[in-house]
Amino acid sequence: FPCERWLAKSEDDGEIVRELVPSDIFTEKLMKDGTLKQIEEEVEDPLEVHTYKISVFTGDIYGAGTDANVFLNIYGDLGDTGERKLGKSETNFNKFERGQEDTFTIQAVDLGILYKIKIRHDNSMFSPDWFLEKVEILDETTEESFVFLCERWLSKKKEDKKIERTLYEQVWLQLNITEWILVPVKYETIVVTGFEKGAGTDANVFITIFGLNGDSGKRALKQKFRNLFERGKTNRFYLETLDMGELKKVRIEHDNSGLAPGWLVERVEI
């Protein structure tokens, strides 16, 4: 996997993430005389590395800009970029200000047709609240453009108090609207803690629900002024997300925090 580029904030394009594709395959063949012969072959039809130009539009309303760090993951039918930090804006010194368009460039192995993104901030700095209008992504290699509308807050204080959004590409939504009910659905989630000694947990608990049409993203299970996940107790939550269709699996996890993080889970019901 040849690279020959910097992974450094102060060199080249300032990126510290590189996606590499193989150029050669080396295999060994056992000869009749007992020696090993190394055979070098070029990779046939190697994947291409594409350049993606990302334009992030902050809304033009009071307090829309953010000082927090913003992270993005782009998904296509051939894979995803992994989470990338949107560091230095190519268009503005202070990024993500009210009514502003900020441009970033990333490289990744060909993602194919883009259909969704996950975008979040880390709620850091003095003014983290952010009203995101939309994200536009141009695949400079194919000259295809993709639009992801948001028009919502990413804030722990406003709207639904979420700082991460999953946004779907507009053309993709129109093509799939007959197959996917694009309205918010509330999933009643019941978590039952076991009866054994020490079964309860003090840790923060998170769940991800996976369905035929996608997943809910990692969600915190919490309620105000309640001790959750105590021994022998049942806790009930309501998670709102797009209709995920037939459910396939759930992922339940905690962050190992608190004095007694160990937890015996009896079952989860959705």
DSSP string, 19-42: -----EEEEEEE-TTS-EEEEEEE
Low-confidence ranges of the chain (pLDDT < 70): 43-46, 173-183, 225
Contacts made by residues 80-85, CB under 8 angstroms, sequence distance 24+: 80/111, 81/19, 81/52, 81/106, 81/108, 81/111, 82/17, 83/118, 84/17
Q: 189 and 170 in one domain?
A: no
Per-residue DSSP letter, 170: H
Q: 237 and 196 in one domain?
A: yes
Query: Is 108 part of any domain?
Result: yes
Q: 210 and 152 in one domain?
A: no
Range of the domain at 54: 47-177
Query: Is 25 part of any domain?
Result: no
Query: Is 28 part of any domain?
Result: no
Q: 87 and 191 in one domain?
A: no
Q: 194 and 144 in one domain?
A: no
Query: Is 54 part of any domain?
Result: yes
Q: Which of 107, 142, 177 delimits the end of a domain? A: 177
Query: Is 73 part of any domain?
Result: yes
Query: Is 6 part of any domain?
Result: no
For residue 73 the two structure tokens come to 């993951």
Q: 195 and 165 in one domain?
A: no
Q: Which of 123, 144, 177 delimits the end of a domain? A: 177
CATH number at residue 101: 2.60.60.20
Residues 6+ apart with CB under 8 A from 162: 154, 155, 156
Task: Please list the residues that pair with 49 across neighbouring strands.
Answer: 109
Note the pTM of the prediction, 2 decimals.
0.59
Per-residue DSSP letter, 94: S
Give the type of residue at 193: T
Question: So what's the pLDDT on residue 224?
Answer: 72
- For residues 54 and 105, the answer to whether their CB atoms sit within 8 Å is yes
Per-residue DSSP letter, 43: P
Query: Is 31 part of any domain?
Result: no
Helix/strand/coil for 59: coil
- For residues 24 and 42, the answer to whether their CB atoms sit within 8 Å is yes
How many domains would you assign to the chain? 2
Query: Is 16 part of any domain?
Result: no
Residues 6+ apart with CB under 8 A from 246: 211, 212
